[in-house]
Amino acid sequence: MGEEVMFEKDLPCPCGKGVVHVELLEHDTWPSGRHQRNDLRCEDCKAKYVSGFLVDAYILRADNEEMEKRQHAIYDRRRAVGDKAAAKYLPQFLEHVKALKFKTAMYDAVGCGGSMGRFYKDTRYGLDAVIEDGLRSNPAHALKQLKVEDAEIAAELEAIAKEAAALKEFIAKVPKHPVPKMDEYTRR
């Protein structure tokens, strides 16, 4: 499978001494739509900036590392709460979900997100694993289905929500140099 460059342009980099080479690409074997690739061609900016994962812009490397560190900490805490909920409530949750008559009701009860088709596909390899993953990834939803109030888990989830809000606030304050969008230039 190859890619065809549909359009390319050099635009100023964040410091103004070099360029950002932007290419608009399209796959040649299947209609996946277009996407773009950016190449920061300035040694000063390469040393200082990175194209952020959590934001669509060039940001300072230190800010990106801080965002990733916080994101990983939130993920680890969520996983720990999910593990705690699974240790306490997995047998009860398995029984609850399996007692439901329809797959759509099971899908709603598990609350794992994704599509119904994905749920059908995943359950072919084991309903128990899908139910357990739903409990681990979204313990608040699972406990609500069980009509269980666990103050310890609720408090931990609330603390995680505060960390996530603080991360969102941090991201909003990070100075950003927008990644140029090729659509803006190809319409002219």
147-150 own/partner pairs: CB under 8 Å, 24+ apart? 148/89, 148/92, 150/85, 150/88, 150/89
First to last CA, the chain: 30
What tokens does 103 get? 């797959």
Report whether pLDDT(81) > 90.
yes
Separation CA 1–CA 28 (nearest Å): 7
For the chain, percent of residues with pLDDT exceeding 70: 91
Domain boundaries, the chain: 3-51, 67-172
Mean pLDDT of 141-153: 94
**146 or 180, which is more confident?**
146
Count the Cβ atoms, other than its own, within 10 Å of residue 110.
26
Report whether pLDDT(103) > 60.
yes
Report whether pLDDT(168) > 90.
yes
Report whether pLDDT(28) > 90.
no
**61 or 112, which is more confident?**
61
Q: Tell me the average pLDDT of the chain.
A: 87
**78 or 184, which is more confident?**
78
The torsion angles phi and psi of 51, rounded to 5 degrees, stand at -80, 110
* Most confident residue range from 19-28, 111-120, 146-155: 146-155
